[in-house]
Structure 1
Amino acid sequence: MYPINLILDNKPCVVLGGGHVALRKVKGLLDAKAKVTVISPEIVAELAKLVEEKRIIWQKKCYEQGDLDDFTLAICAIGNEKINAEVQREAKQKKVILNVVDRLEFCDFALPAKIRRGDLLVTFSTNGKSPALAKYLRCKMEREFDETYAKWLDRLVQLRKEAIKTLPTSDDREIFWRSALSDDVMELVKNKKYDEAEASIRDAISSFRA
């Protein structure tokens, strides 16, 4: 597998199925700012609430050929082998990237377990071999990745802009950040001493300029 993060802002995505598994997939797509449609004859209460809030579109029907038209990405959470195969055929024809829950052989991509803190996204993948292990590792690490690093990331946005003005090439910038984000700086971040950490990065930028 080749790991990527898809940019789904305002992209039309569809989830087939209306149960609790489908709900989890819908929430993940909404977190990614996708435009989400659910196709299912019935949906759980939390999905109905999202429909009521106009956060998703619900097509109250069973899946049929042609339903993937105009979608960028599809997730099938129906749990029926015949439908899985039908959805896969249509997805290939329409060049829609597809994930079928718990059936890697039907998938174009696997969904990792994830920790999201603002714009910070940490993922755990087992190449689809054991989603349970990926979820276990995520739970173990959730305490480590609290809001501390997300707040630091917000500050790094401006620091990165300043560094780009000073460091002329991508190679220069890669070398700089490897050194600048040192254990000492990250220890300051861990202790929420953001101003001190930011000052250290700015000093490093100024030293490069000199």
Structure 2
Amino acid sequence: MRLFPLFADLKGRRVLVVGGGPVAERKVKSLLASGALVTVGAPETTEALKQLQAQDRIEWLCNNFQPDWLADVWLVVAATDDRELNRQIAALANERRLFINVVDDPELSSFQVPSIVDRSPLTIAISSAGSAPVLARRVRERIETLFDHTLGSLATLAAKYRSAIRQARPELRPRREFYDWLLDGPVAAALRGQQPEQAQQLLEEALQQPQATVTGKVLLVGAGPGDPGLLTLKALRALNEADVILYDRLVDEPILELARRDAEQISVGKAPGEDHNATQARIHALMLERAQQGQLVVRLKGGDAFVFGRGGEELEFLRQHQVPYEVVPGITAALACAAYSGIPLTHRDHAQSVRLVTAHCRQDTMLEDWPALAQPRQTLAFYMGVSQLDWLAGQLILHGRSGQTPFAIVENGTRSSQRVLQGTLENMARLALQHNIKAPSLLLIGEVTALAPKLEWFGASIRTDKTD
């Protein structure tokens, strides 16, 4: 079950809590902190709840549950120790289209109360959809250590000056840069030193300084082979600073979900059969147009932009048009797919070198390379070679590589759907067809691939023998 994250404004709104024990007491205190008007319904309550009722902070309905208690409330919490009663309350609440939380019973609940990290007005909520509250608590404990308690004061200060900041920095990018300075600079340091007046003075002085001229820029970012965990910290920072993201076909949705929510995302992927030169010209035009508008452009490529990614061509274009740029390297497919398959690209007993080769080129352009590619004691990593396996194997065998040389094809490398097909060079094309291997896949050829069955640790393997 996937829950929609939601922060509810309950100030001045009536909430019903059914139950009067310690659990209900904890829920009531949280609700009161949010400004809710709380009604507690139960024959008996804890002493703390009675004190809240005596202070007129809650209303107490001293009785067994009555269906008419659900009238005129916005939210319901069932905190009794009677599951059948909780089930009845949940059914009645659902009939009235009221959100209900049945404590410790996600099956009956239409909303969950998350674990929170409170840096008011900044609140971080963690939910396991009710399935693993201990895990949510552990995550909260870790997050608590990451964020200073003065973040709340900083957020309050930023809210106080929000209109002034917008007026002084009307354009989005300079305003975002100002907020970054606010979070990372002397204002935050002053608050950590318990000097709120100095923090406010520093903020006001910064707003009086003239706004710098906005210049566009392109960040050429390698997104890695697919697993979002393989993004570099610089790549993640770029995704969170971008105004617009131009992404390739092989960049997965989980990676794009890490970007700023308001960043514009434009697919510029090259599909099979397209005129790639025309597509590349469109990419160049988009980069130039958006950078000239003063935007921060992230050109997001699968793997690494400088390994068969046309990154050099794009930088040449940007340099020609005097557009500032930076390069954020990514983990290329050969390194990642080999690592996720338990295949060392070099090994002192089997391979002293590794060659990265693109099979996506005219076949006659590789004629002079075949004798060198067919040499033993090296690892070959072929990119974009799935459609040409028969030709690749034939050329290597023709130029001296043994047909018994082991290979591995890594399909969807580093993704949850990764598969590794292993066999020998002479049977490679047939085995790939038999097991329906599709792109994106990386082909590794060499003695090191025979180590995969012993060293593998991720995904599924398709093992074959020489007679398969």
TM-score range, shorter chain: 0.7 to 0.9
- Residue number among 163, 178, 181 corresponding to 1:180 in the alignment: 178
- Residue number among 5, 8, 22 corresponding to 2:7 in the alignment: 5
Tell me the alpha carbon deviations over residues 98-130 of structure 1, each in whole angstroms, 9 at most, x when there is no partner.
111111111111111113234222222222221
| 2:155 matches 1:150 | no
Which 4+ runs in 1 deviate beyond 6 A? none
In percent, how many aligned pairs have the same letter? 26
Contact 1:76 1:99 in 2 (8 A): yes
| 1:107 equivalent in structure 2 | 109
- Residue number among 189, 203, 212 corresponding to 1:198 in the alignment: 203
Gap runs ≥5 in structure 1: none
TM-score (normalised: structure 2): 0.40
More displaced 10-residue stretch of structure 1: 54-63 or 125-134:
125-134
| 2:293 equivalent in structure 1 | none
| 2:211 equivalent in structure 1 | 207
1:197 CA displacement: 6.0
The number of equivalent residue pairs is: 205
| 1:43 equivalent in structure 2 | 45
Measured in 2, the distance between the counterparts of 1:75 and 1:208 equals 52
Amino acid at match of 1:128: G
| SS of equivalent to 2:5 | coil
Measured in 2, the distance between the counterparts of 1:84 and 1:18 equals 13
Contact 1:79 1:101 in 2 (8 A): no
More displaced 10-residue stretch of structure 1: 17-26 or 89-98:
89-98
1:21 CA displacement: 0.7
Task: Flag the 1:176–1:96 CA change in 2: closer, same or farther, 3 A.
Answer: farther
| SS of equivalent to 1:163 | helix
Trace 1:56-135 onto structure 2 (pairs within 5 A).
Answer: 56-135=58-137
Task: Flag the 1:117–1:83 CA change in 2: closer, same or farther, 3 A.
Answer: same
Kindly indicate which of the two structures has a greater share of residues assigned to helix: 1
Task: Flag the 1:176–1:30 CA change in 2: closer, same or farther, 3 A.
Answer: farther
| SS of equivalent to 1:157 | helix
| SS of equivalent to 2:31 | helix
Amino acid at match of 1:202: L
Task: Flag the 1:22–1:202 CA change in 2: closer, same or farther, 3 A.
Answer: same
1:133 CA displacement: 1.9
Tell me the alpha carbon deviations over residues 62-119 of structure 1, each in whole angstroms, 9 at most, x when there is no partner.
1122221111000000132211221112111222111111111111111111132342
Contact 1:11 1:34 in 2 (8 A): yes
1:163 CA displacement: 2.6
Measured in 2, the distance between the counterparts of 1:209 and 1:157 equals 25
Contact 2:117 2:124 in 1 (8 A): yes
Measured in 1, the distance between the counterparts of 2:153 and 2:169 equals 24
- Residue number among 28, 31, 35 corresponding to 2:30 in the alignment: 28
Measured in 2, the distance between the counterparts of 1:49 and 1:209 equals 60
Measured in 1, the distance between the counterparts of 2:208 and 2:77 equals 47
Measured in 2, the distance between the counterparts of 1:23 and 1:11 equals 18
1:177 CA displacement: 4.7
TM-score (normalised: structure 1): 0.85
| SS of equivalent to 2:160 | helix
Measured in 1, the distance between the counterparts of 2:166 and 2:7 equals 23
Contact 2:106 2:112 in 1 (8 A): yes
Q: Structure with the greater relative contact order (CA < 8 A, sep ≥ 6): 1 or 2?
A: 1
| SS of equivalent to 2:26 | helix
RMSD: 2.6
